[in-house]
Structure 1
Amino acid sequence: MNVIVTGGAGFIGRWVVKRLLDDGHHVTVIDDLSNGQKENLVEFEGNNNLKSVVIGDLKNEELLEELFAKGDFSICYHLGASINVQDSIDDPRTTFFNDTVGTFYVMEQCKKRNIKVVFMSTCMVYDRCYDETGITEKHPTKPASPYAGAKVAAENMVLSYFYAYGLPTVVVRPFNTYGPFQKTGGEGGVVAIFINKKLNDEILQIYGDGTQTRDLLYVEDCARFVVEAGYSDKVNGEIINAGLGRDISVNELAQLIVQDPTKIEHVDHIHPQSEIQKLLCNYGKAQDLLGWKPEISLEEGVARTEAWIKEGYLLK
């Protein structure tokens, strides 16, 4: 198939592109590089199935029209977005226009050409988990940040195109994804940041008391989930979670990574109002509809991520 991946130069986007290329599809990428990096796609440069990497803004309707008119796409994997929760609180306008308005422009192109849309949402739209069975897709949403609010708005718009126009769409809500190619600085995820600090012999700083929990999904498991949601008609019109099905407190995660309590300190949370105290995924729906379940344990995923970050240091 010919497929397009928005945000394909980003962390998860890069792994989605790899999976699609491994499956033999012809892939076009569009990314404005506000979060993504060209370097993430370097290893695919010799692959004839990577048709083009377009540097451009999803809010540029003329560019989208030109790209979609000649692409003959079967599926649009829409991952392009502003993704930083803290930034969305400080600058909600940018997040809204990128995540909600940008999604509208993508949907219009897909509607015009009957292209299936796999929309990347987030577990951050949920209210906290209250029991050990985990968060299902029927769990209450609570957009505690403009990032989550923009994603909920975009989700509803994406699903409205399924109901109003019969356009095949699916909303995917991966839980906290980590792994190689994730940024190790302020825009990165907690696993990559903690590992980077450990390797630099720096103190790991934890926001708040560290009892907040996360369900951490290894990026290759996430990419497999996202890609297969595009292949299956069973999930059209649905919202689907993916996670490890196990949560860990940030305190426990820090200890797992650094294994030295003297290297850990607690600091005041920048935006405590947007913290979700407990996140635990119930991925039963993904297992039922897609036959998907995670394959990489947290310990294995952390080890792989650390090896990748170490390799980057050696190359420098």
Structure 2
Amino acid sequence: MTFLVTGGAGFIGRWVVNRLLADGEQVVVLDNLSNGSLDNLKGLSANPHLEIITGDIKDQKTLSGLFRKKNLNTILHLAADIIVQDSIDNPRKVFENDVLGTFNLLEEARKAETKFVFMSTCMVYDTASSSGAISETYPTKAASPYAGAKLAGENMVQSYYHAYDLPTVILRPFNTYGPFQKSTGEGGVVSIFIQKELNREYLSIYGDGTQTRDLMYVEDCADFVVMAAASEKCNGEIVNAGLGTDISVNDLAAMICKDKSRIRHVEHIHPQSEISRLVCDRSKAKRLLGWEPKTTLENGIRKTFEFQKARVL
């Protein structure tokens, strides 16, 4: 099998590539390196089954040439602008990357009859009620241009499944963390908090910190992506993945930083885009794929802490 992984030099993409190579698959990475880095692939780049191409999904010439030269069996489309705050500040950029870029790939997939796996996000959901977790049928809400772009991408993917019988699957992973995630403002809350703790800096929490997140370790997420790509049961489906339990940002900060004096609350930059509660109902992934996360939050944070500490040293 030959897989095209867009955004393969990014955080989750790197781990998806790692899993595919471990399975003995041929992998072509396409990444414009706007969010990803070739450093993420250093430990993998010597593998003869991996080819890395620097290019942009908005460039139709690059895409058509790639599909013409490669016999691609499956597209794992992970490339995207993913920063919610950036999407509010620059909605055109997220639309062009996440909607037009997805359309360009879908067109090439349609011509080549190549399976299309679309990485969406839990950020398309409305906030969960206090009584239950979020399933795939839960109401969606475009609370930011990022969420709106992902929903638009989902709709295009579904239209190609129904109109052209193209095998597609839409994945909605919940908040993912782990080694190789950025620890700057573009990273996730776990990696940012760990880096602040390593530097003995303040951990800043937006708002009152009662907002909750379902945090999934990145290797579990990569397993989910690859398993969904290999399964015909997922064709035409939307599938969640997450730990299945949530934690408040306040409790997460306290888990990472034992010195309460270095935890502070700051005004939210874009409170209108905040989702107050996210917790995943992963029963569909278990039913269709037999997938369940293997890593507890405590073990995942420990692994991430060790990775980031080693990088500092």
Question: In 2, Cα distance between the equivalents of 1:138 and 1:76?
Answer: 25
Please state whether the residue corresponding to 2:43 is helix, strand or coil.
Answer: helix
Q: Which whole-Å CA distance do the structure 2 matches of 1:14 and 1:286 have between them?
A: 22
What does residue 54 of structure 2 align with? 55
- Checking the alignment, whether the CA contact within 8 Å between 1:132 and 1:280 is kept in structure 2 is no
- Partner SS, residue 75 of structure 2: strand
- Report the secondary structure of 1:43's partner residue: coil
Instruction: Show the 5 A alignment for 1:1-316.
Output: 1-50=1-50, 52-314=51-313
SS in 1 for 2:139: coil
Supply the RMSD in Å over aligned alpha carbons.
0.6
Give runs of ≥4 in structure 1 deviating > 4 Å: none
How far apart are residue 133 of structure 1 and its match?
Answer: 2.9
Q: 1:70: Cα distance to partner?
A: 1.2
Q: Is the 8 A contact 1:5 1:28 kept in 2?
A: yes
Q: What count of residue pairs does the alignment treat as equivalent? A: 313
The Cα offsets for residues 81-112 of structure 1, whole Å up to 9 and x where unpaired, read as 10100000000000000000000000000000
Query: In the TM superposition, what is the alpha-carbon distance from 1:44 to its structure 2 partner?
Result: 1.0
Deviation at 1:69, TM superposition (A): 1.0
Question: Partners in 1 of 2:280 and 2:95 — Cα distance?
Answer: 26
Q: 2: distance between equivalents of 1:5 and 1:214?
A: 27
Q: What TM-score, normalized to structure 1? A: 0.98
TM-score by length of 2: 0.99
Contact 1:208 1:269 in 2 (8 A): yes
Which one-letter code corresponds to 2:19 in the other structure? R
| C-alpha separation in 1, matches of 2:17 and 2:132 | 32
Amino acid at match of 1:136: S
* Structure 2 counterpart of 1:282, one-letter code: D
- 8 Å contact from structure 1 (residues 229, 290) kept in 2: yes
Consecutive unaligned residues of structure 2, counting only runs of 5 or more, are: none
Percent same amino acid at aligned positions? Answer: 59
- SS of 2:3's partner is strand
- Per-residue CA deviation, residues 95-135 of structure 1 (Å, 9 max, x unaligned), is 00000000000000000011001100000000000034300
